[in-house]
A and B are shown apart, each in its own frame.
Chain A
Amino acid sequence: MTDLLELTSEGLYCRQGDFHVDPWRRVPRAVITHAHADHARPGCDRYLCAARGKLVLRERIGGASPIDTLRWGESLTINGVRVSLHSAGHVLGAAQVRLEHAGQVWVVSGDYKTQADPTCDPFESVAADVFITESTFGLPIYRWAEPEVVAAAINAWWRENQAAGRTSVILAYALGKAQRIAAMVDASIGPIVAHGAVMKMVRAYRDSGVRLPPIDGVPPRARRVGDGRALVIAPPSVAGSRWLRLFGEASVAPASGWMTVRGIRRRRGCERGFVVSDHADFPGLLAAIEATRARRVLVTHGASESLARLLRERGIDAAPLATRFTGELPPDGPADEEEADGSDEVHAVAEEAS
């Protein structure tokens, strides 16, 4: 049987349907799993994404290229290939792409998580012959605590900081993680303030019908914000920037799956860090892969070699697939230069800092 997807210099290409999934170059027709910068690039002639994610994608890619949408489970036939989108639970509108052609089903997971998240639809398990899975946290050291446990830890830290007159700053990707944090904390503790890059996405989330607590932006040319009571949500690129000085004395804590590892926390120079990820943890990945009952699994970005080897040892035909997706990058990885979650953030910070 011929493969439904192949890796070309533009990205994952479906020859039978003549379209790409999450291409990293400009192509005529792009099916997009979600709006993070390593999956959604501007400049394609035509886009297809989940209806829930349209506003977020438009905010990210800008321009006027038409964006077609599908509701969850609804299908569209492109050149004989039946395409449908299924919730991936990663961020608002994040989809798995299901392709069916000549009796064969391929599913591209994009990025996904199996944990509950009040700001996006839950992960849907889809049966597949071939499953292309991410593996950002594909090592057994990564096992997430229940969201309520993490929320309680963040609330306690916020209260502790308030008592000491320190602003609490959480570093989180501007799209997805930032809104999830805002929704998971106890907003009655104090005001929530967000960086400009986060605010853009907050508006896109609200316009898409997601309920979020009140969140204030930072006024332009502000010299001092808040009195040490606020929780500030900002993208990781603000770490060590002048922008942070707006808040006076502050405790800065990254929210990331990488915070599991003490060495990474220490390298970042942060006294606190919260393990919050929009990716599946190791048990989540294994459960999701098993649920597809796929006979063949292709593993992309992250611990792809290890996970593929483990799956092979368990009798599944698995191999790493070298894409340019990056998933959630370690805090000192290339992400600091080219934000995986939107390179515009760096500029936004620079503008607001100057």
Chain B
Amino acid sequence: MRDFAALYWRLDATTGTNDKLAALRDYFTTAPADDAACALHLLSGGKQSRAVSTTLLREWAAEAAGIPLWLLEECYAQVGDLAETLALVLPPPEVGGDDATEVGLADWIHTTIEPLRTADEAGKRRIVHDAWRRLAAGERIVWHKLLTGGCRVGVSRTLVARALAEVAGIDPAVMTHRLMGGGIESADDYRQLFDPEPTSADDRKPYPFFLAAPLDDRPEALGPTTAWQAEWKWDGARAQIVRRGGVASIWTRGEELVNESFPEIVVAAEALPDGTVLDGELLAVRSSALLGFAALSKRISRRRVTKKMLTEVPCVFVAYDLLEERGEDLRSLPLADRRRRLEALLPAEFPTADTSLQLSPRVVADTWADLAAARATARARGVEGLMLKRLASAYGTGRTRGDWWKWKIEPLEIDAVLLYAQAGHGRRAGLHSDYTLGVWHDGRLVTIAKAYSGLTDAEIVEVDRIVRATTLEKHGPVRICSPTLVFQLAFEGVSRSTRHKSGVAVRFPRIVRWRRDKQPADAGTLADLVALIDAAATPEPVG
């Protein structure tokens, strides 16, 4: 536990990539395999189900600190991190009591976290108090993070893979592939990562996804259109279908296996020849019309999909790349070659009712002006814009600029008024940086969106001060402010929703700029938003 906590704080104390890499290398070089497997799971953002409710942790910590619960909540609002708040209010640990902190991470999880899941309340309380007594202050924070189900620290998966590859002396690309989809749970799984030869565990795993960068420049700067392949940028969920060893697996970009959510696609994928990997998008489609991301997320979030759901929200997979054919890794071939093979494998072009496994069509145009005209139809089609992929490009890893561009349509915008503010977390701890915004309806302001980002650090500090000065009421961490601030809000779409009082919800809301030049009276109206829904109510069939 001590070593892992030390790694956590070493990673926390530096912003430099090389320093982080060295810290990871040092840890994995010396950590026993069972501890390293746990650490890897945690560092890759692996979740643990919550072992004890935060309500109980708060109550026990307040009691141990001799303070009322409301005061602990005030502390939380200032600190912005529950694990840290608990550690800061608790009385100092008993030092030199025993050597608990030298217990390895795996053992520590085994003895202080797993038993918590099954213990009754008195038992939980005993385990938690015992751990508090034994752990040093810095270790308590890390342990609290393990308890409450998240231990995010600023390292990317790529960096973890690089460190492990260096320790193992193997190619980072191979290590990245081995780490895809998680599943490193035991010391044996961990040791297999170090195998210089391909292993059976590699079988079901997806390839690392190649990501596109946003196109900021004029598309003409990309040269002649003949060097590029254009496709629609789908408003769905990026996924790979891996058909190997008699099994079909659907992996999302978040490296989650979602077979159970898409049974109809699994059936279609099982008909693919063995040794096939497709890259594409999961989409909700009914009668050739796209149902949008909100409909799709209903399917993704279900573990068990009902018949009703299957008819109401039918889903398809549109493939736009072929990464593996008959067991051969095609990623280094030019896109033009991969596309030819893909078209031969999947002739059914979207939209078709014949199969749930379809080919993502190319958008063919001779000039950039024609492509721009096609892009202008994107919103009416229910897509986000165009993808531009260089025909000569290999399938890379991560987000390498130059070969894949997303050329999205301009967002929708409305001026909205700040109504509520809440203190943020992490580096925004104690600053009111989470805003609920509203627009006018019948002479009143109604809420339409929560936005967390878009202002500069200096602006956030300034808004925080105004929020404090204009607070009308406090409800726990939320402050209701008198309306004085107007922000230009960008969003990707708008739909009916019961979540906000206005009855509408906007998608991906973010603040573009602070309209210091505008008064609340100048902000937009609900009618403006409703008009946008109506405009998008009948999407044309795509294709």
User: B74 to chain A: which residues have CB within 8 Å?
Assistant: 139, 303, 306
Tell whether, in the assembled complex, residue B13 and residue A140 are in contact, meaning their CB atoms are under 8 Å apart: no
Closest to A261 in B: B79
**Chain B residues numbered 56-98 whose CB sits less than 8 Å from any CB in chain A:** 65, 67-68, 70-72, 74-75, 78-81, 84-85, 88-89
In the docked arrangement, what's the CA distance between A264 and B71, Å? 20
Of the four ranges (under 10, 10 to 19, 20 to 34, 35 or more), the interface on chain B belongs to 20 to 34
In the docked arrangement, what's the CA distance between A195 and B256, Å? 55
Tell whether, in the assembled complex, residue A267 and residue B65 are in contact, meaning their CB atoms are under 8 Å apart: no
Contact (A263, B429) CB under 8 Å given A141-B88, A310-B68: yes
B107 at the interface (CB under 8 A from A): no
In the docked arrangement, what's the CA distance between A267 and B71, Å? 24
Kindly identify which residue among B15, B71, B429, B461 contacts A261, using a CB–CB cutoff of 8 Å: B429
Tell whether, in the assembled complex, residue A139 and residue B75 are in contact, meaning their CB atoms are under 8 Å apart: yes
**Chain A residues numbered 113-144 whose CB sits less than 8 Å from any CB in chain B:** 139-141, 143
Tell whether, in the assembled complex, residue A140 and residue B457 are in contact, meaning their CB atoms are under 8 Å apart: no
User: B68 to chain A: which residues have CB within 8 Å?
Assistant: 310, 313
Closest to A307 in B: B71
In the docked arrangement, what's the CA distance between A3 and B20, Å? 59
Interface code A187-226, partner B: CB below 8 Å = 1, 0 otherwise?
A: 0000000000000000000000000000000000000000
| Residues of B near any A CB (own CB < 8 A) | 12-15, 65, 67-68, 70-72, 74-75, 78-81, 84-85, 88-89, 425-431, 457, 461, 465
Contact (A267, B84) CB under 8 Å given A139-B71, A140-B65, A303-B74: no
User: B75 to chain A: which residues have CB within 8 Å?
Assistant: 139-141
Tell whether, in the assembled complex, residue A306 and residue B71 are in contact, meaning their CB atoms are under 8 Å apart: yes
Contact (A260, B88) CB under 8 Å given A140-B65, A271-B15: yes
In the docked arrangement, what's the CA distance between A338 and B543, Å? 60
Name the residue among A139, A141, A333 with the largest chain B CB count within 10 angstroms: A141
User: A271 to chain B: which residues have CB within 8 Å?
Assistant: 13-15
**Chain A residues numbered 289-333 whose CB sits less than 8 Å from any CB in chain B:** 303, 306, 309-310, 313, 330, 332-333
User: B85 to chain A: which residues have CB within 8 Å?
Assistant: 141
In the docked arrangement, what's the CA distance between A333 and B13, Å? 23
Which 10 pairs between the two chains have the least Cβ-Cβ distance?
A263-B429, A141-B88, A267-B427, A266-B427, A141-B75, A263-B80, A140-B89, A306-B74, A140-B67, A139-B75
Closest to A263 in B: B429
User: A272 to chain B: which residues have CB within 8 Å?
Assistant: 13
Closest to B66 in A: A140
Tell whether, in the assembled complex, residue A332 and residue B461 are in contact, meaning their CB atoms are under 8 Å apart: yes
In the docked arrangement, what's the CA distance between A143 and B15, Å? 27
Kindly identify which residue among B14, B88, B457 contacts A332, using a CB–CB cutoff of 8 Å: B457
A135 CB to closest chain B CB, in angstroms? 12
User: B80 to chain A: which residues have CB within 8 Å?
Assistant: 261, 263
Closest to B426 in A: A263
Tell whether, in the assembled complex, residue A263 and residue B71 are in contact, meaning their CB atoms are under 8 Å apart: no
B453 CB to closest chain A CB, in angstroms? 15
Chain A-chain B contacts (Cβ-Cβ < 8 Å), number? 69
In the docked arrangement, what's the CA distance between A303 and B75, Å? 10
Tell whether, in the assembled complex, residue B89 and residue A262 are in contact, meaning their CB atoms are under 8 Å apart: no
A62 at the interface (CB under 8 A from B): no
Contact (A141, B428) CB under 8 Å given A262-B12, A332-B457: no
Contact (A263, B15) CB under 8 Å given A139-B74, A310-B71, A333-B461: no
Tell whether, in the assembled complex, residue B457 and residue A139 are in contact, meaning their CB atoms are under 8 Å apart: no
A28 at the interface (CB under 8 A from B): no
In the docked arrangement, what's the CA distance between A334 and B80, Å? 20
B51 CB to closest chain A CB, in angstroms? 23
In the docked arrangement, what's the CA distance between A141 and B70, Å? 13
Report how many residues on chain A are interfacial, defined by Cβ distance under 8 Å.
23
B72 CB to closest chain A CB, in angstroms? 8
A180 CB to closest chain B CB, in angstroms? 23
Name the residue among A263, A267, A306 with the largest chain B CB count within 10 angstroms: A263
Tell whether, in the assembled complex, residue A262 and residue B71 are in contact, meaning their CB atoms are under 8 Å apart: no
In the docked arrangement, what's the CA distance between A266 and B15, Å? 10
User: B81 to chain A: which residues have CB within 8 Å?
Assistant: 262-263
A319 CB to closest chain B CB, in angstroms? 17
Tell whether, in the assembled complex, residue B427 and residue A141 are in contact, meaning their CB atoms are under 8 Å apart: no
Tell whether, in the assembled complex, residue B426 and residue A261 are in contact, meaning their CB atoms are under 8 Å apart: no
Tell whether, in the assembled complex, residue A262 and residue B84 are in contact, meaning their CB atoms are under 8 Å apart: yes
User: A306 to chain B: which residues have CB within 8 Å?
Assistant: 71, 74
User: B70 to chain A: which residues have CB within 8 Å?
Assistant: 309
Closest to B474 in A: A305
User: A139 to chain B: which residues have CB within 8 Å?
Assistant: 71, 74-75, 78
Tell whether, in the assembled complex, residue B430 and residue A263 are in contact, meaning their CB atoms are under 8 Å apart: yes
In the docked arrangement, what's the CA distance between A332 and B72, Å? 24
Closest to B76 in A: A141
Closest to A310 in B: B71
The contact sample of 21 A-B pairs, CB cut-off 8 A, is: A139-B78, A140-B72, A140-B89, A141-B78, A141-B89, A260-B88, A261-B78, A262-B12, A262-B81, A263-B425, A263-B426, A263-B428, A267-B427, A271-B14, A271-B15, A272-B13, A303-B74, A306-B71, A306-B74, A310-B68, A333-B461
Name the residue among B12, B74, B431 with the largest chain A CB count within 10 angstroms: B74
User: A264 to chain B: which residues have CB within 8 Å?
Assistant: 429-430
Contact (A263, B79) CB under 8 Å given A271-B14, A334-B465: yes
In the docked arrangement, what's the CA distance between A306 and B77, Å? 12
In the docked arrangement, what's the CA distance between A266 and B430, Å? 13
A82 CB to closest chain B CB, in angstroms? 37
User: B429 to chain A: which residues have CB within 8 Å?
Assistant: 261-264, 267
User: B15 to chain A: which residues have CB within 8 Å?
Assistant: 269, 271
Given contact pairs A140-B65, A267-B431, a sample of 15 additional A-B residue pairs in the complex whose CB atoms are under 8 Å apart: A139-B71, A139-B74, A261-B79, A261-B80, A262-B429, A263-B80, A263-B428, A263-B429, A264-B430, A266-B427, A267-B427, A306-B71, A306-B74, A309-B70, A332-B431
Interface code A50-61, partner B: CB below 8 Å = 1, 0 otherwise?
A: 000000000000
In the docked arrangement, what's the CA distance between A334 and B67, Å? 30
Contact (A267, B457) CB under 8 Å given A261-B79, A313-B68: yes
Tell whether, in the assembled complex, residue B461 and residue A141 are in contact, meaning their CB atoms are under 8 Å apart: no
Closest to A267 in B: B427
User: B79 to chain A: which residues have CB within 8 Å?
Assistant: 141, 261-263
User: A330 to chain B: which residues have CB within 8 Å?
Assistant: 430
In the docked arrangement, what's the CA distance between A269 and B15, Å? 9
Name the residue among B67, B78, B89 with the largest chain A CB count within 10 angstroms: B78
Tell whether, in the assembled complex, residue B78 and residue A266 are in contact, meaning their CB atoms are under 8 Å apart: no
Contact (A140, B71) CB under 8 Å given A260-B88, A262-B84, A271-B15: yes
User: B461 to chain A: which residues have CB within 8 Å?
Assistant: 332-333
Closest to A258 in B: B430
Closest to A336 in B: B461
Closest to B465 in A: A334
User: B12 to chain A: which residues have CB within 8 Å?
Assistant: 262
Tell whether, in the assembled complex, residue B84 and residue A261 are in contact, meaning their CB atoms are under 8 Å apart: yes
User: A267 to chain B: which residues have CB within 8 Å?
Assistant: 427-429, 431, 457
Closest to B67 in A: A140
B468 CB to closest chain A CB, in angstroms? 11
User: A140 to chain B: which residues have CB within 8 Å?
Assistant: 65, 67, 71-72, 75, 88-89
In the docked arrangement, what's the CA distance between A140 and B64, Å? 12
In the docked arrangement, what's the CA distance between A103 and B139, Å? 53
In the docked arrangement, what's the CA distance between A263 and B67, Å? 23
In the docked arrangement, what's the CA distance between A306 and B75, Å? 10
Tell whether, in the assembled complex, residue A266 and residue B89 are in contact, meaning their CB atoms are under 8 Å apart: no
B510 CB to closest chain A CB, in angstroms? 20
A170 CB to closest chain B CB, in angstroms? 17
B431 CB to closest chain A CB, in angstroms? 8
Closest to A269 in B: B15
User: B428 to chain A: which residues have CB within 8 Å?
Assistant: 263, 267
Tell whether, in the assembled complex, residue A266 and residue B88 are in contact, meaning their CB atoms are under 8 Å apart: no
User: B430 to chain A: which residues have CB within 8 Å?
Assistant: 261, 263-264, 330
Name the residue among B67, B426, B430, B465 with the largest chain A CB count within 10 angstroms: B430
Name the residue among B15, B85, B461 with the largest chain A CB count within 10 angstroms: B461
In the docked arrangement, what's the CA distance between A309 and B69, Å? 13
In the docked arrangement, what's the CA distance between A261 and B141, Å? 12
